[in-house]
Structures are given as C-alpha cells and as structure tokens.
Chain A
Amino acid sequence: MQNQQEKPTKKLQKCSVLGPVAAIFASANTGSWRLERPEVDFDQCIKCGTCARYCPPDIITIDKTKKECVSFDWNYCKGCGICANECPKKCIKMVPEGSEA
C-alpha cells in the first residue's frame, strides 16, 4: 500500500493542490457481490423509470424507444432488489444469479 503521507502529489496542474490526495476516480466491481439479479417482464413494463430512480448504485438505464427499455450495468448491480420492490407494475423479478434467462 502506498503511504500517502509521504508522497504528496508532485505535479501541480490547474488546481493548487498541496497533497496528499487521491487523484484517481475509480469504481469497485460491486457486481461480483450479486446473489440475485433483476429480470424485467417487458410486456408489463410501462417505462416509468421508478426502478432507475431508486437504484442505489444508479446503474439502470431507461431507453423509451426500445421495447426492452430497461438495462442494467452488471459490473455494479449489487442485487439488492430495491428496483423489484419499488416497480409499480411489479414486473421485475429477482432470480438467482447464474440461472438461465
């Protein structure tokens, strides 16, 4: 592990940072935690976007032009089930991760 206290940021560019600072914007692969994944029944979906609004990692994208309008970023979905619980049409089902679609 790098000891930040001893390694202040050397290159001062636009902002006047005197370090020690974290300067890499990164993401953990929280999708690897998932035990269940959400599955949408697109025949029932009314494209309301409620699922996307409450998703904690904010990884649901709604594309109203498509029939399959709800997509998930599986790198980050933690499988919490909030989307399924909040969907007004109850058209999201949580299925065991690893099972067939």
Chain B
Amino acid sequence: MLEIKDEARGLISHGVSACHGCGLEIVIRKVMDALDDDVIILIPPGCAALFSGYCKETNVKVPGYQGNLENTAASASGIRAALKAKGNDHTTVLCFCGDGATVDIGLQSLSGAFERNDKILYVCYDNEAYMNTGIQGSSSTPLFAATTTTPGGKKVRRKDLTQIAIAHNIPYVATASAHNIADLQKKVKKAREADGPALLHIYAPCPTGWRSNPAKTIEISRLAEQTGCWINFEYEDGKVTINSKVKELKPVEEYTKLQGRFKALTPEQKVALQEEVTSNYNATMKKLQFMSE
C-alpha cells in the first residue's frame, strides 16, 4: 500500500518538478480531479512522467505503469484484459500521453486499440513538440513554429489527431483546453463512461518550449481558441457538438506574438500563417457542422 510522506488534497502531490507555469500540470490535475481513485494510469516517457515520480517515490496516489513511448495504448489494452480476467469491470484505464507519444511514435498501437474497441480512456496532452527531450518538432507542431529540429520554423502543417480517431469509429472523441476547466472535466467524465475507447485531445501550453511568459499560459490557451488555432468540440456516438463559440476570430498575431517560437516569422510568413489558420478553421468548422447534423 502507499506510504504517504507528504499529503495532498487531490490525487496528485503538490510539489512536482514540472516547469513553473506548465499547462500540462494544470491539465493532469483537472483530469484526475474529474475522476476518482478507481483508476490505473499509464504514462509514457515525456514530461508527464514527472508525475510518475522517481525511484521509490511517486506523485500520484493511484497505481501507475510507465511503458515505452510507442506502446501506451497496447499496454492499456493488456491491463484492461487482465482486469477483465479478474472480473473487474469498474476500474478506469487511463493513458496520459504527450503529442509525440500519440501522433507520431505511439500512433500504430493507438490505432490497434481503437480497432479492437478496447475500453481505455486515452488523453493526449498537446504541448506541440517533444518537450522532455529538448523541444524537437512533432507532427503536432504547428506551421512555422520553431523547435530545435525545425529551427527556421516548421515547413508543413500539423496532423489532425481527432479526425484520425473518428475514422476508427470509436464511441467518444473530444478536444478540450487548459483554460476551460468545466468543459474539460465534463468531457473526462463522459469519456470514462464510453462503451469502448475514448480519446481526449487537450491543448496544454508549454512556456519552456514555446518560449512564452509562464504567467501567460492560460491567456495563451484562451487566445488559441479565440484566434481559431484550436477548436473545442466533442464527437459522441457518431455526432459532433461544437463547443467553441467564437463570434469573430481574433488576428493570429495576438496569439503568436506572445510566443518566442514564432518570433522569427517574416511579414510574408505572418500573412501565410493567418491565411492557413483561417482556411483550416473554416474547413474544419464546415466538416464539424456537417458531422453535427
């Protein structure tokens, strides 16, 4: 059983060595607060592994398993099968993975779990790069953002994780962001009850990797939605509900100017980025509206 050295009010200890102002730290606490202790958490390598603790010590009160970067969903399927063999159908199997562990390296095992319709709750916190190993670009890194592997800005657009998940015909897929906690927690609760795999894609600003002011983490999260860089919606049993209600999009520059990763944009790139965000926003909204009918 767990020996409590330093008590905490939630399921996660208060002193975790995530950077100050870390969006992921807000997200993981809110996700765990929406659940209870009947959870097994799987965390692959990445910044979230800071919460698995170090050596004999852990920062989460629930049982956890740290696998490899490529196989979180497959490990979760195994845990679900083992629970089933023991007659346990109540424990939530939660995967908590970065974007690299999801959209790149772990994508095949995730797709397999979706295909088998294994009941797992898969959360991808998206800080838009491989942060824990020094800010390498991932396929979630947005166009023109600088990372250590894309020092001149990323040349291609990001993947659309939610559409990949929806293509597997799973019961629940949703996006959420760090600033809208009520919406995020409502989705966690729904996702847990889904009759099969559920995917939550959560926007989590990273002041270290994005070279932004740690105090602005929530402000940036809000601006991502207000500028159309991020859209919150949910897909439930084949039907979409759009949660982002933005009357008029703010200029993308209000969002990019707060982040060092977009600092070197040329005037032409600024125009191109605005065009790309607007056209992607319109196309995605059209698709989501079609799927909501």
On A, residues with C-beta under 8 Å from B are: 1-2, 4, 13-15, 17, 22-31, 33, 53-54, 56-59, 73, 75-76, 78-82, 84-86, 94
Q: Smallest CB–CB gap between B194 and chain A, Å?
A: 26
Quick check: B58 and A85 within 8 Å, CB to CB?
A: no
29 contacts between A and B (CB under 8 A): A4-B56, A22-B53, A23-B3, A24-B3, A25-B4, A25-B8, A25-B13, A25-B60, A26-B5, A27-B6, A27-B16, A28-B15, A30-B17, A54-B218, A56-B22, A58-B10, A58-B12, A58-B29, A75-B14, A75-B15, A76-B14, A80-B21, A80-B214, A80-B215, A80-B217, A81-B215, A82-B21, A82-B215, A85-B215
Interface size class of B (residues with CB under 8 A): 35 or more
Quick check: A84 and B215 within 8 Å, CB to CB?
A: yes
Q: Which residues of B contact A56 (CB under 8 A)?
A: 18, 20-22, 25-26, 29, 217
Question: A7: nearest residue on chain B (CB-CB)?
Answer: B56
- A54 CA to B2 CA, complexed, in Å: 28
Given contacts A4-B56, A26-B57, contact A86 B218 (CB under 8 A): yes
Question: A1: nearest residue on chain B (CB-CB)?
Answer: B55
Q: Which residues of A contact B179 (CB under 8 A)?
A: 54
- A9 CA to B61 CA, complexed, in Å: 17
Other A-B contacts than A59-B14, A81-B214, 14 sampled, CB-CB below 8 A, are A1-B55, A4-B56, A14-B1, A22-B53, A22-B57, A25-B4, A25-B6, A26-B13, A27-B14, A30-B15, A53-B181, A57-B16, A58-B10, A80-B214
B47-59 to A contact mask, C-beta < 8 Å, 1/0 = 0000011111111
Find B59's partner among A26, A58, A80, A85 (CB 8 Å cutoff).
A26
On B, residues with C-beta under 8 Å from A are: 1-6, 8-10, 12-18, 20-22, 25-26, 29, 52-61, 63, 179, 181, 213-219
